[in-house]
Amino acid sequence: RFRARLGEEGSLKLLEELPSNEPRVRLTVYQGVPKADKLELLAQKLTELGASRLVPVEMERSVRRFERVDRLRKIAREAAKQCRRALPMEIAEPISWAAAVRDMRVRSLLVAPWEEASAGRLTDLRPCMDVGLLIGPEGGISAREIQESGAHTVTLGPRILRTETAALAAAAIVMAVMGEI
């Protein structure tokens, strides 16, 4: 972001670069499409936490298709203004599981809080600048999806969390471990 002055004939003179509060860590949240309006809550709160990208994923246990991306983008823009972020979180078009696997493989680190995991904690992650976080829909992530994703599985404790709670808790922990909170 820059401070600039608009001159004659539409010219623009850059005066100074403004400080950015954007995180150094790029956090991409791959969210299994949930029921109801939970993605709207996630668009708002993940923006506030500093996530870079939200990718709705059609997973084995997703119970519906999602198509209202424009509304999510508007919510992310409003949340970015409210928390004084320089940029809103990117909201991707919903993608298939196969496309998500290809995208996840590009991340330097991919983690999945999974109710079947008995070990591994987000607080033990190594520092990384490009983190993917795989969150299942209601009903969780299937064993096949965990295997195909190649994600490092972690536990969020002995309680089973709702999908939106798991996404927000895991994102906050990742951002804290990476020095962003």
CA distances from 70 to 29, 43, 131 (A): 18, 11, 25
Q: DSSP states of 42-100 as a string?
A: HHHHHHHHT-SEEEEEE-TT--S----HHHHHHHHHHHHHHTT-SSPPEEPPPEEHHHH
Arithmetic mean of pLDDT, 120-126: 95
Residues 55-70 have pLDDT tens digits of 999 999 998 887 789 9
- Give the per-residue pLDDT at 2: 64
- Give the per-residue pLDDT at 111: 98
3-state helix, strand, coil in the chain (%, to 5): 35, 25, 45
Q: Amino acid identity, residue 16?
A: E
- Give the per-residue pLDDT at 4: 75
Residues 147-175 have pLDDT tens digits of 999 999 999 999 999 999 999 999 999 99
Q: How far apart (Å, rounded) are the C-alpha atoms in residues 120 and 117?
A: 7
Residues 103-118 have pLDDT tens digits of 999 999 999 999 999 8
Percent of the chain with pLDDT over 90: 80
Arithmetic mean of pLDDT, 43-50: 97
